[in-house]
A = this chain, B = another copy of it.
Amino acid sequence: MAPLSPRLVVPVDVKKLPREQKVPLHNRWHPDIPPVADVTEGELFRVEMVDWSGGRVRDDNSADDLKFMDFTIAHYLSGPLRIVDSEGVPASPGDLLAVEICNLGPLPGDEWGYTAILERENGGGFLTDHFPSARKAIWYFEGIYACSPQIPGVRFPGLTHPGVVGTAPSLELLNIWNEREKSLSETSLETIKLCEVLHQRPLAHLPTPENCLLGKVQEGTAEWHIIANEAARTIAGRENGGNCDIKNLSRGSRIYLPVFVEGANLSTGDMHFSQGDGEISLCGAIEMSGFLELKCEIIRGGMKEYLTPVGPTPLHVSPIFEIGPVEPRFSEWLVFEGISVDESGKQHFLDASVAYKRAVLNAIEYLSKFGYSKEQVYLLLSCCPCEGRISGIVDSPNAVTTLAIPTAIFDQDIKPKRVKGRPLGGPQLRRLPDLLSCSNHGRLPATQDRSGTSAP
């Protein structure tokens, strides 16, 4: 009898360093990073992956690991995989690669994750001008649910997904990336400041050989140096998919990726147990190691047939996808609104980023009335299944965005109430601890004080 399980094409061992893995990992995009395995379309296969940091973030009470993190390591990816059809002919540039996520999850024995605020000087996040210091929350998984000793009173089912899924760029596409991002990074900060409020961080992450890991390409060789100096960083999502951080790429979804190189060279990584729209604190999903079970199909000529470029070259395309059928179901949502007036009161012109920032700040202020510190809420909104919408983008001068939070994730009623004398955030019902809500596997005592995320 043939085996019934998916074929494991990339195993990982979370006790080993990224560069020690049996099947080598990589952390850059480049057409010349060679495939680590072949996969046939229609075949069910399994890819395991370390967390984005390759295990540098620890299950402890200090955020020091994140405070001093070197982000040139991001993200350790599994692959590339060369996709071939049933006759062994590889996917070709111009094809469309349909990837179905049949299953995914944490690695058995490693069922935990973390959400972090990054230090302002080390990358920051969407609200780094409000939350400049590194913080960390640890999440433990109980099957579909996550809960955190650092953010008590909250528990939710994960909409688990890979933060990164993409095909390798062609050299031509890579050059486009490098040029446009270099161009941006050379823009005067003064100019940029005029239109956005997120100015503390590097404008773009340009190629660097530092901490570069290139799979089967041996470090220190001439080939390695060439690739390392031009390979794209993985932080931004781009035409090839990549770090798109779309929280709905979960079980049962299908992603249609453009193929730029022979074999497609599919890579994945950066598993998220859960993430809110925007992933606002940057390291904001519940980051973890994990596995994917995938199937691929090659739609020959599909890139031309389905993806019309929006931009100056035929390469300016974007992936499309279909949502899967088993997303967590919530029926009650509390929604916060934001308009494109910034915190200083300045009016911006239809700027959805500014409007979303204000929606998030409104939500943080509101939820902090229920016994949480603002850092806790910032972390929570980064990783819980909240939805960020562009509601109005034409009613000048105000873009209107909304942030919808499922109320069922809280163990208290967070809706506004006409109640005299009820202490907001105080004990609404004196009750015994609900033992089903979060066990922490007997490891950590649930924090009584709700204000303590891990600072360095």
Cβ contacts under 8 Å, A346 to chain B: 180, 183
Cβ contacts under 8 Å, A445 to chain B: none
Q: Is the CB of B431 within 8 A of A417?
A: yes
Minimum C-beta distance from A345 to chain B (A):
5
Whether A394 is near chain B, meaning CB under 8 Å from some CB there, is yes
Number of identical monomers bound together in the oligomeric complex: 4
Minimum C-beta distance from A411 to chain B (A):
11
Q: Is the interface of A mostly helix, strand, loop or mixed?
A: loop
Q: Is the CB of B278 within 8 A of A393?
A: yes
* Contact of A102 (CB < 8 Å), options: B142, B239, B316, B353: B142
Cβ contacts under 8 Å, A325 to chain B: 144, 157, 328-331, 408
Q: Is the CB of B353 within 8 A of A393?
A: yes
Q: Is the CB of B391 within 8 A of A184?
A: no
Whether A42 is near chain B, meaning CB under 8 Å from some CB there, is yes
* Contact of A5 (CB < 8 Å), options: B111, B157, B352: B111
* Contact of A397 (CB < 8 Å), options: B184, B279, B388: B184
- Chain B minimum-CB-distance residue to A111: B4
In the A-B complex, list the 9 residue pairs whose CB atoms are closest, starting with the nearest.
A195-B195, A103-B143, A102-B143, A308-B365, A42-B435, A352-B352, A331-B331, A245-B392, A180-B347
Q: In the bound complex, how far is the Cα of B1 from the Cα of A254, in angstroms? A: 38
Cβ contacts under 8 Å, A348 to chain B: 184
A sample of 9 inter-chain contacts (CB < 8 A) reads A5-B110, A101-B143, A181-B347, A195-B196, A198-B349, A235-B396, A278-B390, A307-B365, A387-B389
- Chain B minimum-CB-distance residue to A125: B394
1/0 per position for A315-350, CB-CB distance to B under 8 A? 011111111111111111111111101111111111
Q: Is the CB of B390 within 8 A of A389?
A: yes
**Interface magnitude class on chain A:** 35 or more
Within 8 A of B (CB), among A175-231: 176, 180-181, 183-184, 191-192, 194-196, 198, 201-205
From A21-29, A259-267, A418-426, A448-456, the one touching the partner chain is A418-426
Q: In the bound complex, how far is the Cα of B392 from the Cα of A247, in angstroms? A: 9
Within 8 A of B (CB), among A394-430: 394-402, 404, 408, 415-420, 422, 424, 428-429
Given contacts A143-B251, A316-B341, A391-B277, contact A201 B331 (CB under 8 A): no
Since A180-B346, A419-B429 are in contact, a sample of 10 more A-B pairs with Cβ atoms closer than 8 Å, ordered by chain A residue number, is A2-B442, A4-B112, A102-B143, A176-B345, A195-B351, A204-B349, A246-B337, A279-B392, A305-B424, A325-B330
* Contact of A144 (CB < 8 Å), options: B280, B308, B326, B365: B326
From A30-38, A61-69, A354-362, the one touching the partner chain is A354-362
Minimum C-beta distance from A71 to chain B (A):
11
Q: In the bound complex, how far is the Cα of B336 from the Cα of A256, in angstroms? A: 10
